[in-house]
Structure 1
Amino acid sequence: MELHRETEDDAWEVEALLDTCFAPGRTALSSYRLREGVPPARDLCLVARGSAGEVAGVIRFWPVRVGEHQAMLLGPIAIHPTRQGEGLGAFLLQSGLDRAAVAGVDRVLLVGDEPYYGRFGFTRLHGVTMPPPTNPDRVLGVWDWDGVTGDVTRGA
């Protein structure tokens, strides 16, 4: 497995994998409204390629604001169906978080299941509101969220 930073040249393969994993309707999700017109944080986004050069998995980060605070929105993370169950998702998630920590990112949030993401340190964020119809119980964060509340809006 080869892991590298996502580049513009990877974009079409990444989008094809996301369509495979989530279907083209994925862009209707509320989190996509936070991504529209905002480029991903390419220094944090990773692509895992198999031995034949195929895209096996991806993780992306997007700049957002929560109230007056900067944060990174993690997602999507996708693993090709033929590579699921190999631990690649956990590897990409930890690698992405490690990269964000080195880059000085103070806080990361995502929408997901706490039982899964809790093993990476994510906990429920109270007072942080994603665009509707996001279930507030699925809004999770890691690192410095003390005193951070408000609506999640597009970053720059």
Structure 2
Amino acid sequence: MLGSRSDIKIRKGRLADAASVAETFRQSWLQAYRGILPQTHLDDMIRRRGPEWWASVIRSGDGLLVIESSRTVVGYSTLGFSRTRGPYQGEIYELYIAPVHQGLGLGEHLFEGCRHGLDQRRLKGLIVWALADNTMATDFYWRRGGRPVKQAIENIGSRKLEKIAFAWPA
């Protein structure tokens, strides 16, 4: 159960968070993508994105946010300028909550933290891509008010996977 709001904190990632973010990445990706991504691709992604990789992300700038519950990192997001041409200047690249902490409202808090961070950068409009087969993600963004604006096919290993862009206008 989600504790009081006072024990929830969203902040920029710190080097000391690298191991926690790597573990959150591992757990959440296994849950979200097992059976969707080819297993060898999934295993390879998890292996490559260990604590050292996340430390380099943290060193590179302020595009990583973490969410803490009772001073423990339980989720993360990456965000910045949109990689997609169009009217949406900001993008959330990743937003994941550790599986044991899902369904408690933490994702909504982190999503709003991302929106605030993009607003602080004066980026107008927001876009987020999600694999169509990841119904937890597509349902989450739909409930947050995002609407599909683009579709694309991504080749991952031997699979062709549909991805959907959800957007929020400026």
* Structure 1 and Structure 2 fold alike (TM over 0.5): yes
Contact 1:19 1:26 in 2 (8 A): no
Query: Number of residue pairs matched?
Result: 133
1:124 paired to 2:154? no
Please state if 1:88 is matched with 2:112.
Answer: no
Q: Look up the equivalent residue of 1:3 and give its one-letter code.
A: I
Q: Trace 1:1-156 onto structure 2 (pairs within 5 A).
A: 1-23=8-30, 25=42, 39=57, 42-51=61-70, 53-67=71-85, 71-112=89-130, 113-126=137-150, 129=152, 131-132=154-155, 133-136=160-163, 138-144=164-170
Q: Which has the higher helix share?
A: 2
TM-aligned CA deviation for residue 131 of structure 1? 4.3
Change in Cα spacing, 1:27 to 1:93, as seen in structure 2 (3 Å) is farther
AA of the residue aligned to 1:50:
S
- Structure 2, unmatched stretches of 5+, are 1-7, 31-40, 46-55, 131-136
Residue by residue over 1:65-116, the C-alpha shift from the partner in whole angstroms, topping out at 9 and shown as x without a partner, is 3248784431321212222221001111112112211221123322235543
CA shift in 2, pair 1:20/1:44, >3 Å = same
Partner letter of residue 121 of structure 1? G
Q: Secondary structure at the match of 1:21?
A: helix
Between the aligned residues of both structures, percent identity stands at: 16
TM-score, normalised on structure 1?
0.65
Unaligned 5+ runs, structure 1: 29-37, 145-156
RMSD: 3.3
Match of 1:154 in 2: none
